[in-house]
Structure 1
């Protein structure tokens, strides 16, 4: 269900105007319409952030603009990478019953079998869905999945009314053998060597090296003593 947000139209644009809007704990936004000029809006910051959080990547909001309600489908969200403050939102105008194309995230559920490594080859799939019935995500069960299991796009369980647009043969999940500690260590050493990183000798390695040196020293002394005995 779309969440209601009361929006204000705005006539000020540019970075300066956007900063002034954000200082008031509000968010600048644009609603793109079908063929008409885009509508520039100001939205309440906290309410908008919560609505987008609940609705996910394809959040549908009921935007009340000048007393008239419009359905806005989220198309782009700009968030400050450091403060995580909502900076700007782009919406596209949609109508009830209208079909839209969206990218929907894939969520894995369950635990795969022992000694497996689960790789998500594609994190999203493309769907056509009715604007007011866009799934927040598509669940993919990997419960008990064994090595060699592969899940293709065509095998996903889609909600009623949704049509898969991603190619049927697209690999979504691949279950392989989990790497051993030796393989992980070898890959790490190779990556460090390529990056020119020299490892500090571990305590264990240092102890082994000391033992080897001591053994070599004892061997040299024994050989020297043997040579001396031969000369006498």
Structure 2
């Protein structure tokens, strides 16, 4: 067996190719449209990947890190103020192959009760009914784990996860703030929660993620790209 210390540079470069290709693809993301209601979103046959999470879970930062763009996803100074679904197209400009959907953050206390109720319903309808939805990326603060609102969101999409129609990736954000033991505990707790809610058909992934340290960025990009490549043709 060859000693790893003597592995050729070419072998190392080959191992990095999927990540480079996936990150180059993610970098093509550009703004398409915005909508405040589900019926304002354009119909599409392109696979759509939705980014969801609590207002302070690092959703905008994760999107900007994955796409290597500083201001693609707008991070308001007041969490919870963004109340639109923003769509971004990916792939060649004349022939996009996927969409990212940035959904409003949820759970911020300063948002009015009426606004919370309205957006809870919009998000529930989106996750249950959006025909082009192929995958969901759920941002969860690794220090807090799943909150009740995160679990409610999982319930909205559970039927589509159960039959494999929609895939799920949980990004445990801000992982740089945890030591090794805390990170292992956060990962295990997340796995336990999702394991109790999964079926044989469910396609669910979990990644510790840090925008600051770029932990999990390559893995997340490769997985999202694979979702698009495996998506059934329209």
Q: With structure 2 as the length reference, what TM-score do the two structures score?
A: 0.21
Q: Which has the higher contact order (CA 8 A, sep 6+)?
A: 2
Greater helix share, 1 or 2?
A: 2
Q: With structure 1 as the length reference, what TM-score do the two structures score?
A: 0.21
Larger radius of gyration: 1
Greater strand share, 1 or 2?
A: 1
